[in-house]
Amino acid sequence: MSSEVRVAVFRPDDDRLTDAVELLDSLGATPIADPMLEIEPTGAVPQSDADYVVFTSKTGIELAAEAGWQPGETTLVSIGSGTTAAANDAGWTVDREPDTYSSTGLVELLAEEVAGSNVNVARSDHGSHVLLDGLVDAGADVTETVLYRLVRPGDAGDSTELAASGELAAVAFTSSLTVEHFLDAAGERGLRDAAIDGLDAAVVGAIGEPTRATAVDHGIAVDIVPEEATFEALATQVVEAAAPSYTE
């Protein structure tokens, strides 16, 4: 077996993919860039008069800022550090950020304070129902603004062929949708079962519990879930786990 540590990464083909490739390079791995998500903006903007506006991604912040939206007097809520950094870059101040970067973490953060408030959740078309249902259960008047759609690029899937032939040391899944799109791309090539078998022999990383659960539901064993839900933490742990076993 080759000593080359090939790690597939599925981030959208923008600065996130560039940064991911650079990080994997710096860790001594060979990045296999196979974007599984493409962003289609809807042109919508968050609700301007909401008591709370909740952003669940860096992309959502960037699209709202590009459209000229401003938080005004709303309580601005971010799901995590990357989203908060994007808000800071836009000149906004984040008022709330959970300790756990997930929909569940957001619900736990806001549950005791949103009763009777209008809460607008600004996100993609693939957001978890956990967030909306949890806020409704907490007594909030909840609306959702779909800022963008997430679709699979037509040419995605080269990594599925490498997985099926046992040529991947590791994969780094960064959302449930990257798992689903990976498997869809493998299925279109007639390689779904072979790709899953190939992943069984590789190190599989998932950025958080929802992503891990999706992978497991589809028959993919997950080896790594970092405590901090960032790509840097995910990539570092995946490469560390893959490198010792992927040598001649």
Query: What three-state secondary structure class fits 73?
Result: coil
Burial of 166 per CB tally in 10 Å (0-12, 13-18, 19+): middle
Dihedral angle of Cα 230, 231, 234, 236, to the nearest 10 degrees? -120
* Per-residue pLDDT reduced to its tens digit, 140-175: 999 999 999 999 999 999 999 999 999 999 999 999
pLDDT at res. 245? 62
Is the per-residue pLDDT at 136 higher than 50?
yes
Please tell me the distance from the alpha carbon of residue 225 to that of residue 228, in angstroms, as a whole number: 9
pLDDT at res. 144? 98
pLDDT at res. 37? 94
Beta-ladder partners of 124: 148
Tokens of 175: 């959302």
Is the per-residue pLDDT at 98 higher than 70?
yes
Reported pTM: 0.80
pLDDT at res. 224? 97
Please tell me the distance from the alpha carbon of residue 220 to that of residue 205, in angstroms, as a whole number: 10
Of 221, 149, 151, 155, whose CA–CA distance to 188 is shortest?
155
> What is the pLDDT confidence band of residue 133, given thresholds at 50, 70 and 90?
very high
pLDDT at res. 248? 42
Over residues 172-200, mean pLDDT: 97
Query: What three-state secondary structure class fits 88?
Result: helix
Is the per-residue pLDDT at 210 higher than 80?
yes
CB 123 within 8 A of CB 57: yes
> What is the pLDDT confidence band of residue 1, given thresholds at 50, 70 and 90?
very low
pLDDT at res. 247? 47
Average pLDDT along the chain: 94
pLDDT at res. 198? 97
pLDDT at res. 2? 46
* Per-residue pLDDT reduced to its tens digit, 15-72: 899 999 999 999 999 999 999 999 999 999 999 899 999 999 999 999 999 999 999 9
pLDDT at res. 3? 62
> What is the pLDDT confidence band of residue 246, given thresholds at 50, 70 and 90?
low
Location of structure tokens 């650079």: 22
